Chains A and B, each alone.
Chain A
Amino acid sequence: GENVEQHPSTLSVQEGDSAVIKCTYSDSASNYFPWYKQELGKGPQLIIDIRSNVGEKKDQRIAVTLNKTAKHFSLHITETQPEDSAVYFCAAWDSSGSARQLTFGSGTQLTVLP
Chain B
Amino acid sequence: GAGVSQSPRYKVAKRGQDVALRCDPISGHVSLFWYQQALGQGPEFLTYFQNEAQLDKSGLPSDRFFAERPEGSVSTLKIQRTQQEDSAVYLCASSSPGTSYSNQPQHFGDGTRLSIL
A residues with a Cβ closer than 8 A to B are: 4, 6, 31-32, 34, 36, 41-46, 49, 51, 89, 91, 93, 95-96, 98-107
Name B29-48 residues within 8 Å CB distance of A. Answer: 31, 33, 40-45, 48
Instruction: For A101, give its contact among B33, B41, B91, B102 (CB under 8 Å).
Output: B33
Q: Is B55 an interface residue (CB 8 A)?
A: yes
Q: Is the CB of A104 within 8 A of B102?
A: no
CA of A89 to CA of B42 in the docked complex: distance in angstroms? 7
Rounded to whole Å, the gap between the CB of B41 and the closest CB of chain A is: 6
Which residues of B sit under 8 angstroms from A32, Cβ to Cβ? 103
Q: Which residue of A lies closest to B108 (CB)?
A: A43
Q: Is the CB of A99 within 8 A of B56?
A: yes
CA of A99 to CA of B61 in the docked complex: distance in angstroms? 17
CA of A72 to CA of B50 in the docked complex: distance in angstroms? 30
